[in-house]
Amino acid sequence: MPSTGLRERKKVATKEALSRAALDLAIARGVDAVTAESIAEAADVSARTFHNYFSSKEDAILFVLDKTVQGLVDAFARCSAEEPVLDSLESIFVAVVESPGSLDRMIAVTRLMAQHPALIARHVAVYDTTSNAMLAEIGRRTGTNPDIDLYPHLVHHAAGAVVRAVIELQISTGSDTALSRSGLVDAVREGFEQLRRGLPQPASTN
């Protein structure tokens, strides 16, 4: 049993190392200049090993984002069923923002997807699968049915929109005006508070 656990941990470590190498190379050289061979070399493994874990460089680049999304689903499922759904979603998104490197990797992948639409198509397939799991858990927690009810879809997409909005703002600002880590957490919390209030239109300052 211990040896099996060790083998699995080594596999996970290898996959994560390949993904980090793929993302680093894509940031440094651009997606088009990255190859499976260069990723394998950067991770100090063979090209054959790369293909044992990923079918393409796009899958390797996106793995860090897909893993984060899956982690959100798993974390949400562990939240107390007695906690309001928006509170649970806020807490798990805040945890991602506070996690060293997690948000930075999400921002890096988001930038790459904006430059290379092919990455979006790869991500959508995984996102659809994890969305179904999140919708099912929201439905279970709220007594709604994602197949016929609008509510779980609204909650799921609205919560995700909060984080996407924060990431977009962070990307669009210059280095001098970029939010600090605590500022990003505050922005996520503000976004969820606005959701709870029903997104009232701000008062005009004119």
Residue-wise pLDDT tens digits, 171-185: 887 655 667 888 889
**Fold match between 1-54 and 57-196?**
no
Q: Identify the residue whose tokens are 């962070």.
A: 170
Residues near 77 by beta carbon (within 8 Å), at least 6 away in sequence:
133, 137
pLDDT at 46 over 70: yes
pLDDT score of 178: 67
For residue 103, give the amino acid letter.
L
**CATH number belonging to the domain at 1-54, selected among 1.10.8, 3.40.50, 3.30.2290, 1.10.10:** 1.10.10
Q: CA-based angle 145:148:122, to the nearest 5?
A: 85
pLDDT score of 180: 84
- Percent helix, strand, coil in the chain, to 5, is 75, 0, 25
pLDDT at 118 over 90: no
Which of 84-98, 139-153, 191-205 comes out lowest in average pLDDT?
A: 191-205
CATH code for 57-196?
1.10.357.10
Mean pLDDT, the chain, as a whole number? 88
User: Are 105 and 68 a contacting pair, CB within 8 Å?
Assistant: yes
Q: CA-based angle 42:45:51, to the nearest 5?
A: 100
Residue 46: DSSP 8-state: -
Q: How far apart are the first and last CA of the chain?
A: 69
CA 108 to chain CA centroid, Å, is: 11
Q: Average pLDDT for residues 148-153, to the nearest whole number?
A: 96
Compare 96 and 206 and report the one with higher pLDDT: 96
The residue ranges of every structural domain in the chain are 1-54, 57-196
For residue 53, give the amino acid letter.
Y
pTM of the model: 0.81
State the Cα–Cα distance between residues 109 and 115, nearest whole angstrom.
10
State the Cα–Cα distance between residues 129 and 93, nearest whole angstrom.
19
